[in-house]
Amino acid sequence: MAEDEAHEVVTGEGYAVGNIDALGSGGGFRKIRPALNVQSFGINAIVMPATFAGRRHYHYEQEETYFIHQGHAELELGDGSVHRLGPGGIARIDAATVRRIRNVGDDDLIYVAVGAKEGYVENDGHLLPSEETG
If one counts the domains in the chain, the total is 1
In a domain, 132, yes or no: no
In a domain, 77, yes or no: yes
Number of Cβ within a 10 Å radius of residue 25: 9
pTM confidence score: 0.89
- Mean pLDDT, the chain, rounded, equals 92
How high is the pLDDT of residue 123? 75
**Interval 12-29 mean pLDDT:** 94
In a domain, 133, yes or no: no
Per-residue pLDDT reduced to its tens digit, 91-117: 999 999 999 999 999 999 999 999 998
Domain range for 45 is: 10-118
Question: In this model, does residue 129 exceed pLDDT 90?
Answer: no
Per-residue pLDDT reduced to its tens digit, 64-90: 999 999 999 999 999 999 999 999 999
Yes or no: say if 20 and 44 are a contact pair by the CB < 8 Å rule. no
In a domain, 130, yes or no: no
Three-state DSSP state, 129: helix
Per-residue pLDDT reduced to its tens digit, 41-65: 999 999 999 999 999 999 999 999 9
Yes or no: say if 48 and 85 are a contact pair by the CB < 8 Å rule. no
For the chain, what's the residue count?
134
CATH number for 57: 2.60.120.10
